[in-house]
């Protein structure tokens, strides 16, 4: 039975000067990121082991180029591979698929998966729901691509931050129902209607600064227009119907992240659909096809922003443990 729609919430119009500041910061960031990626792609600097096997453009979205990672141990004639579709983060406005090259290459080769890193149009030039619609198009194109060695019965989608939100958004589309068996959402923004001050108040007292405190409103402005209901389920997936999402969900929250509590509420809501008993601990549990994990003592994007010294060593260890736990869940629940 479908739940009642949440009461609509609309954003207060952002003043002109604030919009100007947001736009300036975003486009300067875009330029800086493009320069960094150009440098990192220079011969002698780029890591060969992290490069995709090839890239591909689909006619349905000709401006988007996707990065395909085929396991080194796979050869033509071998059995089709389980598929993991990756969507990069970046506040809906920044970065590009190559930002996830290291993750995609390692996840592909360590688990013998076909990994496709998906491109999508960025805000503010492309606002909601353009990225969602584009991703629906390219996911269908990938699943229908006979040139790729895909086992279409073993398909998972996932992403981090904005990429996690977009994974939860595009899989609600009617055309993808029944085609994706699992979803991995790393620290997703799942309720755009939650004010930053309210979200900050849900963090532990010892959490310190949050990288999103001064950026969340800017990213939300870039992605949403004033006439959009902030509780639209494809914008704020906390309000989605469980039946419209893949049957297996792995949702990760970071303890010190202002997004964590909303993610936990979403996980609890989805897990309440069904009669299964909850197993595990308060910080890592499973119920009715949903797994929730809180990474204690870590910030948003801890697996990407490494820090220094002992913090780096700790985060590398926890990142490896998290990815291993995700792989175990996928092979137990989806890739079977």
**C-alpha distances in Å from residue 43, one per residue of 46, 48, 206, 246:** 6, 9, 43, 40
Phi/psi of residue 51, nearest 5 degrees: -75, 145
In-domain check, residue 3 = no
Q: Is 44 left (phi over 0), alpha (psi -120 to 50) or beta?
A: left
- The count of structural domains within the chain is 1
Is residue 262 scored above 80 in pLDDT?
yes
In-domain check, residue 1 = no
Distance between CA atoms of residues 336 and 330, nearest Å:
8
Give the confidence band of 2 by pLDDT, cuts at 50, 70, 90: low
User: What is the domain range of residue 310?
Assistant: 16-333
**Strand extents, DSSP E, 22-105:** 54-57, 65-69, 81-87
Is residue 3 scored above 70 in pLDDT?
no
Q: How many CB atoms lie within 10 A of CB 176?
A: 19
Q: What is the pTM (predicted TM-score) of this model?
A: 0.97
Distance between CA atoms of residues 87 and 49, nearest Å:
20
In-domain check, residue 11 = no
In-domain check, residue 6 = no
> For 59-103, how does the pLDDT look when each residue is reduced to its tens digit (9 = 90+)?
999 999 999 999 999 999 999 999 999 999 999 999 999 999 999
In-domain check, residue 188 = yes
- Indicate which CATH number applies to the domain containing 264: 3.40.50.1820
In-domain check, residue 10 = no
In-domain check, residue 99 = yes
Is residue 226 scored above 50 in pLDDT?
yes
In-domain check, residue 228 = yes
Is residue 180 scored above 70 in pLDDT?
yes
């Amino acid at each position: 039975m479908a739940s009642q729609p949440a009461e609509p919430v609309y954003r207060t119009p952002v003043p002109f000067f604030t919009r100007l500041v947001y736009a300036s910061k975003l486009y300067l960031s875009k330029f800086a990121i493009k320069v960094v990626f150009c440098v990192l792609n220079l011969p002698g600097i780029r890591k060969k082991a992290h490069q995709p096997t090839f890239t591909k453009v689909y006619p349905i979205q000709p401006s988007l180029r996707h990065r395909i990672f085929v396991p080194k141990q796979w050869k033509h004639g071998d059995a089709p591979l389980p598929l993991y579709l990756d969507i990069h983060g970046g506040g809906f406005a920044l970065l590009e698929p190559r930002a996830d090259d290291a993750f995609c290459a390692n996840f592909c080769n360590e688990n013998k998966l076909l990994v496709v890193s998906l491109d999508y149009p960025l805000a503010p030039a492309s606002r909601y729901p353009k990225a969602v619609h584009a991703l629906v198009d390219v996911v269908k194109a990938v699943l229908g691509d006979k040139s790729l060695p895909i086992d279409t019965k073993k398909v998972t989608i996932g992403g981090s931050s904005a990429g996690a939100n977009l994974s939860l958004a595009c899989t609600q589309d009617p055309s993808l129902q029944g085609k994706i068996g699992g979803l991995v959402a790393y620290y997703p923004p799942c309720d755009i209607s939650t004010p930053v001050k309210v979200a900050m108040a849900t963090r532990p007292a010892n959490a310190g600064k949050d990288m999103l405190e001064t950026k969340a409103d800017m990213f939300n402005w870039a992605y949403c227009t004033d006439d959009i209901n902030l509780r639209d389920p494809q914008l704020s997936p906390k309000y989605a119907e469980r039946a419209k999402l893949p049957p297996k969900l792995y949702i990760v929250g970071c303890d010190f992240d202002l997004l964590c509590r909303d993610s936990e509420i979403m996980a609890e809501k989805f897990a309440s659909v069904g009669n299964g008993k909850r197993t595990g601990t308060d910080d890592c549990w499973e119920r009715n096809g949903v797994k929730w994990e809180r990474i204690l003592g870590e910030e948003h994007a801890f697996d990407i922003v490494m820090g220094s010294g002992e913090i780096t060593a700790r985060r590398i260890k926890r990142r490896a443990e998290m990815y291993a736990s995700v792989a175990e869940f996928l092979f137990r629940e989806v890739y079977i």
